[in-house]
Amino acid sequence: MRQVILDTETTGLEVQRGHRVIEIGCIELVQRRRTGREFHTYLDPEREIDEGARAVTGLTEEFLRGKPKFAQIAREFLDFVEGAEVIAHNASFDVAFLDAELARAGLGEPRLAERARILDTLVLAREKFPGQRNSLDALCKRLEVDNSHRELHGALLDANLLADVYLALTSGQGALGFAEETAQAATRASVELRVTVRPFVLRADAQEIASHEARLAAIDAASKGNCVWKRA
């Protein structure tokens, strides 16, 4: 199965107020293993960045000026995620912003959730750790994922951390799959053994046959000719 771990950074928190995506980071997994393929880009949002977003990401209008517009990378982004299972933390936030960007680029239909299956690790974490803090930082601490190098939020950095968090959150599923495969392999080996290995037949030699006949004769004499084994 192909999966894409995704994170975005934005100019602000409210897509309804016209805030834009300023960074996208994606990590590819196949069969729960990193392939080394990534999609990462900074974007020129063509608008100001909220002070809070600048403080969290460290990104400024000056740094992003001249970077690609979303419409310029939209098709490449879609090619990377289409058909995969897209995994994000608080996925509704990222998906809403990306759908808005795709609509601006004239690629709004079908929506992202119709191009790829969406899996929200925040929902997974709340099911596994109800009543606890389930931010990415909190999960890193709880699941022993090293995030000591995370001084600022960054889409590619956070996608890499989320990949480790997701694998830790769902490690039992992987173990279950491995156990099922092992059991199936053992069953196949057992069937093959039963089919291909023939039983070894040990036959009596002449001395053993003579002893057996003498024993039957003695039983027959003692029972006055009523030895069942001799008649058989």
Answer for the pair 19, 10: CB distance below 8 angstroms, yes or no.
yes
Closest C-alpha among 84, 66, 68, 60 to residue 24: 68
Strand partners, 29: 3, 34
Omega of the bond prior to 110 within 30 degrees of 0, cis? yes
Q: Is the dihedral of CA 133, 138, 139, 143 positive or negative?
A: negative
Cβ neighbours for 151, distance < 8 A, ≥ 6 positions apart: none
Which is catalytic among the residues 40, 149, 153, 212? 153
Q: Is there a catalytic annotation at residue 89?
A: no
Q: Residue 119, class by beta-carbon neighbours within 10 Å (0-12 exposed, 13-18 middle, 19+ buried)?
A: middle
Enzyme catalytic residues: 153
